Amino acid sequence: MSSWALSLFQRELRLAVRVGGGALVGVLFFLAVVTVIPFGVGPDLNLLARIGPAILWIGALLATLLGLDRLFQADRDDGSLDLILMAGRPLELVVLIKCLAHWMATGLPLVAAAPVLAIFLNLEPTAIGAVTLTLAAGTPALTLIGAIGASLTVTLRRGGLLLAVLVIPLTIPVLIFGVSAADAAVNDPVPFMTPFLILCSLSLISLVVGPFASAAALRFSSD
């Protein structure tokens, strides 16, 4: 990794974990969503175990969306985005590195918290492992797809809601295959690998499409 890329990565991580960075906001929101649902659904343990993977996935999706609007907006607000555009570095790589750092600060804590929260939802050990694995494979796709929405809404004040409306439809395939892979691990006749591999391929596709689309949107944003 060349020095500018490393420098950008370190800056993004530092900004995320320091005051006002919001790295932990996502995971706290995830905790709030997942702990509230058993109270709403009631003490039916079998029902909770059945819908547990879906709850964890929806919680992770919403928690990811929560921090995404600041991905480029924070840099635009203080003029850094102009300088990033003029820096003479490939913008696609810049976006990719920012997404990677953002995922490390917000996505990875979700993956780490998932096994603990899964216990609240009465998931059995296989299901806990499967949900955690699918979240680890799928949350990068959420961040990368979300980056497209974040760069499209970067010029808007309070574009967070519009971002969610834009991004949620695009993330539905990730959600479907993430949850079905986690379900398949518990319910025997369905193979686990088929939906899981599709989930992985969705992540890989968004790894390619996300930075390019996002960089193109940022280039047009600077008017």
Burial class (CB in 10 A: 0-12, 13-18, 19+), 104: middle
Site string for another protein, 49-88 (x = CB under 8 A): ----------------------------xxxx-xxxxxxx
- Which helix (H) or strand (E) segment is 175 a member of? helix 160-186
Give the pair of three-digit tokens for residue 11: 């800056």
43 binds another protein (CB under 8 A): no
- DSSP conformational letter for 106: I
> Amino acid identity of 214?
S
**Near another protein by CB under 8 A: residue from 3, 40, 157, 169:** 3
| Cα torsion 189, 129, 62, 206: sign | negative
Contact stretch for another protein (CB under 8 A) within 5-13, 60-68, 147-155, 190-198? 5-13
Lookup result for tokens 């203080």: 78
Minimum gap (Å) between residue 11 Cβ and another protein? 5
- Which part of the chain contacts another protein (CB under 8 A), choosing from 13-21, 40-48, 119-127, 176-184? 13-21
Binding site for another protein (CB under 8 A): 3-4, 6-8, 10-11, 14-15, 18-21, 77-80, 82-89, 222-223
